[in-house]
Amino acid sequence: MLPLGQQIAFLLFAIGTGCIALRGFYRLYRCIRAGREDADPRFDRQPARLWYALTTTLTQSRTFRKRPAISFFHACIFYGFVLYLLVNAVDALEGFFPFSIPSSGLAGIAYNFAADLFSALVYIGVIALVMRRFLLPSRRDFRFNAKTLLHEDVRHSRISRDSLIVSTFILVHVGSRAVGAGARLAAEGPDRFQPFATLLSHLFTPENAEFWRIVGYWGALGSILAFLMYFPFSKHIHIFMAPAKYLVARAAPSGVLPALELNLESEEQKLGAGKLEDLGWPRLLDAYACIQCNRCQDVCPASTTGKSLSPAALEINKRMELNHLAQSSWGFERGAASPHPLLAFALTPEAAWACTTCGACMQVCPVQNEQMLDIVDIRRNQIMIEGEFPTQLQSAFRGMERAANPWGINQEQRMAWAQGLKVPTIDENPNAEVLYWVGCAASYDPHSQKTARALVQLLALAGVNFAVLGKKECCTGDAARRAGNEYLYRQLAEKNVATLTAAKPKLIVATCPHCMNAIGKEYAQLGGDFKVVHHTQYLESLVASGKLQGEAMPSSITYHDPCYLGRHNGVYDAPRNLLRVLTNDFVELDRRRENSFCCGAGGAQFWKEEEAGSERISDNRFREAQQRLTSGDGRSETKVLAVGCPFCKSMLESTPCKEDKAPIATKDIAELLLESVLKRAGQSALQTPATSSPKPAPEAASQPIGSPAIAAPAENLPEKAEEPMPAAQPAPASPESKAPEPPAPAGERKKWSPKTSAVKRESAAAAEPVTSSATAVEDLPREQPLNLIQPAPASPESKAPEPPAPAGERRKWSPKASAVKQEPVP
């Protein structure tokens, strides 16, 4: 027990520091509340939320997803502090009341043993983390790309200073507690249930034990009171903010962007985020939940390939700015607008446009921050308010707006991919069991047309009653939405929702994960309720039910998980189950499943030049596949990189580094399965009537896969479709065979080069009429010449081609008036 004078001093100190700390906490709370109301519910299903927050916090499950050794030391500190909530309360009472907890009885033994053990573990944990942060400075974990925008506080070593203060506090706090416990045992005798305190007790004598107990008391509890004043603005606040973040975690899948209200009546309408206060409050909370671990930067494809984007720096910069505002008299927490735009301190415009929306940052973040959503909000503001965006996106926007596809090819040609095949439309076959959503890529891009052609042949061979929308199908608007162009997305999405609602599909099968995500998940925000599966899921069910039988091929095959199929929609097993049927030589990439590495196309990147960096994202990914297939893991001569997304296919097939490497074919799983099925069936399959009669009961598949993921499809097509399908119709020739350089043919990305030279080409590309690119399907075998170069429906804009934007400048985009009924807010 403390002497009376010290008791009074301690109480006064506690009241003083407590008041200052409370004021800090309150300002922090007000700063977070200064954010905008969030589009997603954050307080619904409270029991489930509470349970999730408790279990995630107490198991540290998200922390242990990566860096297991570091996570172990972090867990030592975390569990020590959880226990210390009780230990500190007991210690504080011991200073005012004459009692102590002896090591007798189960509770007393457990308490003293746990307090002793965790004191040691916390100490070990902190020392390990301090050594890592300060003695291993070469580690990339705490470094930022030289191009990354850093808040001035970060540049002035605020992170290191903060870490030092927090570490020192923990060492003083826990060390003092150990000193007090050791001194007590020096007076009372050793305790076998407190081995570390017993060890320390040898440093003291019964005569000086009381003095050191009091020193330990003040050191342990006084340091907490002193630290409380700094606590709200330190990184240590994450011990409260991380559980708070779990509690209000976004329930929607990561592939579903928050809904945006487009109220054009309102002059005051805020679209996207230009400043801190435009972000939803949960994303201001993110800044305080961030533990500054840089795990998100580690997995970010843009950051990894030398772009200026760092999702970690984004959160840390937000935190530094918020701290500045909270500790100043600016009045941000009282509603004053923040002084700087996000693009002035949080990230550069180039960084905002470098994001592929792969979601890796959000998936890996131990505190469930939503970095990607910040970036999309910034893009929304840039596009819909500021009119600042990479000029190359203009072509894709115009194409989507006028021709319902980003290539800008006339909608009349949407079925050109199926030439020579019998593919019924929904009007011809309104009772189809399966509606195949072809998507723009498979409709117009020669790389992807092979996938569509393979899929419909497989459906026919399996006797599936299917149809396509044909010319009624429009772009889903995925790329427009990821680019921040919510107006354009809404225009396309509403049209598709109306078309699909009228068509009443029983099941939609999509070959494009972006389409699958948009239709199956995002259209729900617009009233669309559609069941959509990826073609690999559906094909898996056909193979599992014996409707398709393949034969293992002599190829080494590896698989690239597309972000929008895997990470955003959780489809990992169906493609693998199919590939294990297709080959006995399936090798996994190191970065796979939820840890997959983006191909570089997502987030509308496919439609623009990659931002300047050290390498292309697709090069980085292709090299990994190439290394895996040729390093001895792949035993077969033929090497195949399998994909399940048309954009991944195009990126990985055309990535520049591929040219220097051993030949590796990039194929969709549907193409591979068709080859395998035809190989097993022999040429007789080529004459197999589409669906004239149920196929004979198959023998066991060469390598059985699991039970069907979805219901087996209907057996027969209606009579109208019972014509022989030329199943072996050759797929369209790849455009590389002609490879004319400028102007870039539709379906191909423009050649990547560092930003400086890239911008010189932007203006010319942006000035091209959107319908001029017709080479996408011009190599299709055809009986009559295809008229693919028809101009898009006349519009005022088409009469007056826009002048090219000056090189390097971003140009303002204005949506068609009909997009959302009125002119957008300028």
DSSP code of residue 657: G
- Using CB under 6 A, pick the residue from 70, 115, 358, 515 that binds ligand SF4: 358
Told to check if 237 binds ligand SF4 by CB under 6 A, we report: no
Binding residue for ligand SF4 (CB under 6 A) from 28, 361, 426, 483?
361
357 binding ligand SF4? (CB under 6 A): yes
Nearer to ligand SF4, 113 or 240 (CB): 240
Chain CA centroid to CA 796, Å: 39
CB of 599 to ligand SF4, least distance (A): 12
Beta carbon of residue 481, minimum distance to ligand SF4 (angstroms, whole number) = 14
For the bound state, the minimum distance from the C-beta of residue 610 to ligand SF4, rounded and expressed in Å, comes to 11
Q: Is 355 in the site for ligand SF4 (CB under 6 A)?
A: yes
Q: Report the nearest approach of ligand SF4 to the CB of residue 630 (Å).
A: 28
In the set 209, 262, 372, 479, which binds ligand SF4 (CB under 6 A)? 372
Find the angle CA(151)-CA(156)-CA(161) to the nearest 5 degrees.
110
Element at 109 (helix H, strand E): helix 105-130
What is the smallest separation between the CB atom of 356 and ligand SF4, expressed in angstroms?
4
HSE-up of residue 820 (Cα within 13 Å, Cβ side): 19
**C-alpha to C-alpha distance for 794 and 159, rounded to whole angstroms:** 57
Of the residues 57, 145, 176, 371, which one makes contact with ligand SF4 according to CB under 6 A: 371
Binding segment (CB under 6 A) for ligand SF4, from list 125-133, 182-190, 353-361, 703-711: 353-361
Q: Which is nearer to ligand SF4, 356 or 410 (CB)?
A: 356
- Give the H or E element holding residue 153: helix 152-155
| 369 is an interface residue for ligand SF4 by CB under 6 A | yes
> Among the candidate windows 91-99, 105-113, 165-173, 368-376, which touches ligand SF4 by CB under 6 A?
368-376
129 vs 296, beta carbon nearer ligand SF4: 296
Enumerate residues 57-86 that contact ligand SF4 by CB under 6 A: none
> Angle 240-246-248 (CA atoms, 0-180°, nearest 5)?
105
Angstrom distance (rounded) from CA 167 to CA 159:
12
HSE of 332 in the Cβ direction (CA atoms, 13 Å)?
26
Q: Which is nearer to ligand SF4, 367 or 725 (CB)?
A: 367
* Among the listed residues 381, 353, 305, 401, the one whose alpha carbon sits nearest the alpha carbon of residue 759: 353
Does residue 618 interact with ligand SF4 by CB under 6 A?
Answer: no
Phi-psi region for residue 650, left (φ > 0), alpha (ψ -120 to 50) or beta? alpha
Which is closer to ligand SF4, CB of 604 or CB of 805? 604
Position among 302, 479, 645, 670 found at the interface with ligand SF4 (CB under 6 A)? 302
Q: Is 356 in the site for ligand SF4 (CB under 6 A)?
A: yes
In the complex, minimum distance from the CB of residue 347 to ligand SF4, in angstroms, rounded to a whole number: 9
Q: Which stretch binds ligand SF4 (CB under 6 A): 352-360, 382-390, 457-465, 493-501?
A: 352-360
The mark string for 304-323 relative to ligand SF4 (x by CB under 6 A, - otherwise) is: -----x-xx--x--------
Q: Which is nearer to ligand SF4, 360 or 533 (CB)?
A: 360
Q: Check residue 359 for interaction with ligand SF4 (CB under 6 A).
A: yes
Which residue in 24, 80, 274, 366 binds ligand SF4 (CB under 6 A)?
366
CB of 359 to ligand SF4, least distance (A): 5
- Binding footprint of ligand SF4, residue count (CB under 6 A): 30
Query: Phi and psi of 467, rounded to 5°?
Result: -155, 165
d(CA 144, CA 132): 17
Cβ proximity to ligand SF4: between 426 and 601 the closer is 601
Among 320, 365, 461, 557, binds ligand SF4 (CB under 6 A): 365
| 704: preceding bond cis by omega (within 30 degrees) | no
The verdict on 349 binding ligand SF4 (CB under 6 A) reads: no
Is 596 a binding residue for ligand SF4 by CB under 6 A? The answer is no
Residue selected from 115, 249, 273, 360 as contacting ligand SF4 according to rule CB under 6 A: 360
Backbone angles phi, psi at 671, to 5 degrees: -60, -45
- What is residue 509's three-state secondary structure? strand
From residue 299, alpha-carbon distances to 74, 288, 357, 573, 612 in Å are 20, 21, 12, 22, 18
Instruction: Give the helix ranges, DSSP H, for 218-310.
Output: 223-230, 238-247, 281-289, 295-299, 301-304
Contact 492, 474 (CB under 8 A): yes
- The answer to whether residue 350 forms part of the interface with ligand SF4 (CB under 6 A) is no
Structure tokens at 400: 């989507």
User: Which residue, 443 or 605, has its beta carbon nearer to ligand SF4?
Assistant: 605
Of 357 and 537, the one with the shorter C-beta distance to ligand SF4 is 357
Measured from the CB atom, the residue of 291 and 721 that comes closer to ligand SF4 is 291
Report if residue 374 touches ligand SF4, rule: CB under 6 A: no
Cα(402)–Cα(794) distance, integer angstroms: 9
**Interaction pattern, residues 245-284, with ligand SF4; x per rule: CB under 6 A:** ----------------------------------------
Closer of 290 and 346 to ligand SF4 (Cβ): 290
**Residue number, 617 or 788, with CB nearest to ligand SF4:** 617
213 or 608: whose CB is closer to ligand SF4? Answer: 608
| Cα gap 755→760, rounded to integer Å | 9
Least Å distance between CB 598 and ligand SF4? 6
Q: Which is nearer to ligand SF4, 361 or 565 (CB)?
A: 361
Measure Cα distances from 18 to 84, 225, 245 in Å. Answer: 18, 7, 24
Indicate the residue among 318 and 750 with the shorter CB distance to ligand SF4.
318
Instruction: Tell me: does residue 244 bind ligand SF4 (CB under 6 A).
Output: no
Distance, in Å, from the CA atom of 497 to the CA atom of 554, rounded to the nearest integer, reads: 43
Residues 778 and 734 sit within 8 Å (Cβ to Cβ): no
Euclidean distance between CA atoms 93 and 96, whole angstroms? 5
Closer Cβ to ligand SF4, 237 or 293, answer by number: 293
CA-angle at 205, arms to 201 and 211, nearest 5°: 90
Taking each helix axis from N to C terminus, what angle separates 392-403 and 755-767, rounded to the nearest 10 degrees?
30
Angstrom CA distances, 221 to 16, 96, 188, 229, 471, stand at 14, 13, 22, 14, 73
Closer residue to ligand SF4 (CB): 255 or 646: 255
- Distance separating alpha carbons of residues 824 and 818, to the nearest angstrom: 10
- Applying CB under 6 A, the span of 29-37, 78-86, 350-358, 744-752 interacting with ligand SF4 comes to 350-358
Interface mask toward ligand SF4 for 281-300; x: CB under 6 A: ---------xxxxxxx--xx
Does the footprint of ligand SF4 cover residue 367 (CB under 6 A)? yes
Q: Is 527 left (phi over 0), alpha (psi -120 to 50) or beta?
A: left
3-state secondary structure of 378: helix
Smallest distance, ligand SF4 to C-beta of residue 316, A: 7
Which residue's entry shows tokens 């409370």? Answer: 22
Cα–Cα distance measured from residue 800 to residue 741, given in angstroms and rounded to the nearest whole number: 26
Q: Residue 389: which of 239, 611, 181, 211 has the closest Cα?
A: 611
Residue 285 or 375: the one with the smaller Cβ distance to ligand SF4 is: 375
Q: What is the DSSP letter of 746?
A: T
Which residues contact ligand SF4 (rule: CB under 6 A)?
A: 290-296, 299-302, 309, 311-312, 315, 355-361, 364-367, 369, 371-372, 375
